[in-house]
Structure 1
Amino acid sequence: MSKSPIIIALDYSDEKPVWELLNQFGDEQLFVKVGMELYYSCGNSLLSKLKEKGHNIFLDLKLHDIPNTVGRAMQSLARLEVDIINVHAAGGCLMMERALEGLEKGTLSGKDRPTCIAVTQLTSTSENVMQEELKVNGKIEDIVVHYASLAKRSGLDGVVSSPLEVPLIKEACGSSFLTVTPGIRLAGDSKDDQQRITTPKEARSLESDFIVVGRSITASVDPLLALQTIKKEWSEGL
């Protein structure tokens, strides 16, 4: 996909701060992430406005339900013409296959199917939480690679993971298998609720395809400068 590798997470609960942020970038075409909080508040009308402005959209809803329900949901969501959409790999192969079928069925004639990726483990999940609370045994990197392999087997285009697991995912699933990596912070920024994090430069050197950046941009006193800094760091990671 010939789109910006830097995805800005619009982690807001209403529309006003979205435009207060985006207006600071002028006419620049951005790649933005709309998650559950914002989508459930503003719905499809916000997506339409973002598309009218020429922005690319990652609709981050992490669908996880019985296969037929996810398939039908994806058929409806495909009509929104977002660029990336996701499910949770923990739903299993059949669910992921149905998700892809739904997207293909719902994509309008002459349009590209949205890229479909699967969440492996949230970057807020530590190995201890995964093992003790979720009762998923094994090392976190092994579980992430296992889920990524299931996603590839199901025909999906890639996964969401920490940048730290990207080399293992590429080794198991091939270099063309997309990795979208949240948990990105500039040096000195607060970790907040994230556990497995890196800088943009580190993520690039680990071969992430896309990075998702939230508070390092949205909480900055100068979001435009923050984005420029992230772009510079990303280019230095080659």
Structure 2
Amino acid sequence: MDGSAARERLALAVDMPLAQGLALYSSVAPFMGYAKVGLSLFVEHGPAAVTAFQKLGGRVFLDLKLHDIPNTVELAAARAGALGVALLTVHAAGGEAMVKAAVKGAREGAQRQGHPPPRVLAVTVLTSLSAADVTDIGFSSAPEAAAQRLAQLAVRAGADGLVCSPREAEGLRRLLGPSPFLCTPGIRPAGAERGDQARAETPAFAVRAGADLLVVGRPVHTAPDPVAAARALALEVSSG
């Protein structure tokens, strides 16, 4: 895999003040093709946060994890599609009708503005949840089995891809084949602090497991040299 291919498999989570996030993404953009705009940044700045990263040439991953009644999600997804985002997240736990509504809204919103439709990615089990947490919220199975059940529901509903822990990616590939786009947050280079990520893994692990896109935040944000950290991530993805 060459450097340009590795770049298209890395997303920088820009969960920080907008000016700081723009400066950081601008510096690491040669190695990271996506800017992931999360809930806090979008609540503070709205669509302006999306357009700011688009002006830098980044493909925007709008990570709102929509989870509401189908009509509300369809309307929100249509607005996101109209912004020209590349990726949009919803919670698979919202159910099949909600995921279908998100896909419909995102495609129609993008079409109205002449944008390519975003990939709608369904979040399975948050990477911050441990096995005990998964049991506490009502699943009778381990995180991997819960993720597989939610993934099947989401794909059946028309989701373009899934958000899962790197640990679940290989099992989802075996279960669902090559077509779902798999996004894995919770990426931590070897030796890095895991923070609140209970099911994190290294970039090489995620690539070998079948992930298409790796989301990285704090290992770049907090690095003494963020550009060097992003370059190292791209090299590890290439070698993986």
Q: Shorter-chain TM-score: what band?
A: over 0.9
- Alpha-carbon deviations, 1:181-206, whole Å to 9, x = none? 00101111111000111111111111
- Alpha-carbon deviations, 1:45-93, whole Å to 9, x = none? 1211211121111000000001111111111221110000010000000
TM-score by length of 1: 0.94
Give the aligned residue type for 2:175. Answer: A
**Aligned alpha-carbon RMSD (Å):** 1.7
Q: Which residue of the partner structure matches residue 230 of structure 1?
A: 233
Of residues 36-45 and 104-113 in structure 1, the stretch that sits farther from structure 2 once superposed is 104-113
TM-score by length of 2: 0.93
1:1-238 paired onto structure 2 within 5 Å: 4-12=8-16, 14-25=17-28, 30-109=33-112, 110-132=114-136, 134-237=137-240
Q: 1:23–1:126: structure 2 CA closer, same or farther, 3 Å change rule?
A: same
SS in 2 for 1:121: coil
Whole-Å separation in 2 of the counterparts to 1:111 and 1:206: 31
Whole-Å separation in 2 of the counterparts to 1:98 and 1:35: 21
Give the aligned residue type for 2:115. Answer: K
Contact 1:29–1:56 (CA under 8 A) maintained in structure 2: no
Whole-Å separation in 1 of the counterparts to 2:63 and 2:126: 12
SS in 2 for 1:54: coil
Give the aligned residue type for 2:184. Answer: T
Contact 1:88–1:119 (CA under 8 A) maintained in structure 2: yes
SS in 2 for 1:11: coil
| Amino-acid identity (%) | 35
Contact 2:9–2:33 (CA under 8 A) maintained in structure 1: no
Of residues 41-50 and 80-89 in structure 1, the stretch that sits farther from structure 2 once superposed is 41-50
Q: Which has the higher helix share?
A: 2
Q: 1:49–1:98: structure 2 CA closer, same or farther, 3 Å change rule?
A: same
> 1:25 deviation in Å?
3.5
Unaligned runs of 5+ in 2: none
